[in-house]
Structure 1
Amino acid sequence: MSHKPIAGLSGASLVAGIFAYTRFNSFPSLIASFGVGSVMALSSMRIRDGMEYGYEGAAASSAVLVVPTLRRAIRTRTPIPATVCLLAAASTVYYVREIAENSKHAVI
């Protein structure tokens, strides 16, 4: 039950977007990474503060990040998109498990 994995992935997403923009002049990558990174940062703050939908936002934004980074990792065969893709997949699994764990302990 930690906000740190999604906060770290938010930073990695932002850095990867900036790297893609500077290296390949990819403006869509920059915009998308700032969008997904912002949702991740918001989810991190919601988890940290004990607010609702923090885990769901973290799982959804991590899952959204997997698809484009997987495509880019396959196409370019470079380590940065592959690493971000693996981190996003691990984050998705982590937060889905947290959601399942929290729903199991929920009082109805």
Structure 2
Amino acid sequence: MVISQTNSNSFSLLGGIFAYTKFGSTPSLIGSFAVGSAMLLSSMRIRDGMEYGYEGAVASSIALVIPTLRRTIKARLPIPATVCALATASTAYYVQALSDIKRHAI
């Protein structure tokens, strides 16, 4: 399911670029690249079987849900809504995957 994280990563970057070009929001651009980079790192760690990949995926997905949910409620634009939906789905998936891994490790 690294694909979900990669899609959220792409939409995160696109959302930040969109916010910067439309509204001149430098914090959105910087935040989207920071979260996108964390998602990319998590995806690579999961793919390579390294530790803390799933934890990073959960954290970066949650870090993306919060501001995009606020933006979706405030602006009602399709890009923040899409990013929020993907980040929410990604969060749910990685929480479940992490729970399964922890359960099987015992």
TM-score (norm 1): 0.95
Q: Whole-Å Cα distance in 2 between the matches of residues 4 and 55 of structure 1?
A: 13
Q: Structure 2: 5+ residue runs without aligned partners?
A: none
More helix by share: 2
Match of 1:42 in 2: 41
Match of 2:67 in 1: 68
Alignment root-mean-square deviation, CA: 0.8
Give the counterpart letter for 1:56 in structure 2. Answer: E
Q: Whole-Å Cα distance in 2 between the matches of residues 46 and 16 of structure 1?
A: 24
TM-score (norm 2): 0.96
Percent identity of equivalent pairs: 62
Match of 2:5 in 1: 6
Query: How big is the shift at 1:24?
Result: 0.8
Query: How big is the shift at 1:83?
Result: 1.0
Query: How big is the shift at 1:44?
Result: 0.4
- State how 1:23-62 maps to structure 2 within 5 Å: 23-62=22-61
Query: How big is the shift at 1:77?
Result: 0.8
| Runs of 4+ deviating beyond 6 Å | none
Match of 2:80 in 1: 81
Match of 1:104 in 2: 103
Q: Whole-Å Cα distance in 1 between the matches of residues 86 and 8 of structure 2?
A: 7
Instruction: Report the count of equivalent residues.
Output: 106
Deviation per CA, 1:69-98, whole angstroms, max 9, x where unpaired?
Answer: 011111111111011111111100000000
